[in-house]
């Protein structure tokens, strides 16, 4: 059977089973991969390639510098 492809919340590309990923929820961010921890795909949250997560946080921090602190992403602390 087919599983839903896990897609990166930053770039929209599929995240491979063996690729390092970061999952972000309201309460945590966690680095893992589907291969080492299949349960991560079922965590309700945003999934990122590890590299994309770092990029997304850089962007978020740049934006928050230009705006007020309320827009700071909670996932990038
Ligand atoms: Zn990505």
37 three-class SS:
coil
Best CA proximity match to 46, nearest among 71, 66, 21? 21
pTM over 0.85: no
Q: Mean pLDDT, to the nearest integer, of 56-64? A: 79
* pLDDT at position 49 over 90: yes
CB neighbour class for 23 (10 Å; exposed up to 12, middle 13-18, buried from 19): buried
Best CA proximity match to 23, nearest among 50, 3, 4? 50
Query: Distance from the CA of 45 to the center of ligand 1, in angstroms?
Result: 15
* pLDDT at position 1 over 70: no
Between residues 62 and 47, which one has the greater pLDDT?
47
Percent composition of the chain: helix, strand, coil (DSSP 3-state, to 5): 35, 20, 45
Say how far apart CA 15 and CA 18 lie, in whole Å.
Answer: 8
Query: Distance from the CA of 8 to the center of ligand 1, in angstroms?
Result: 4
pLDDT band at 2 (very low <50, low <70, confident <90, very high): low
């Amino acid at each position: 059977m087919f599983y839903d492809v896990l897609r990166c919340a930053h770039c929209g590309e599929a995240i491979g089973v063996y690729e390092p990923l970061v999952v972000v929820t309201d309460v945590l961010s966690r680095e893992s991969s589907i291969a080492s921890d299949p349960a991560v795909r079922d965590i309700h949250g945003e999934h990122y390639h590890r590299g994309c997560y770092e990029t997304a946080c850089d962007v978020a921090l740049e934006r928050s510098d230009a705006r007020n602190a309320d827009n700071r992403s909670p996932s990038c602390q």
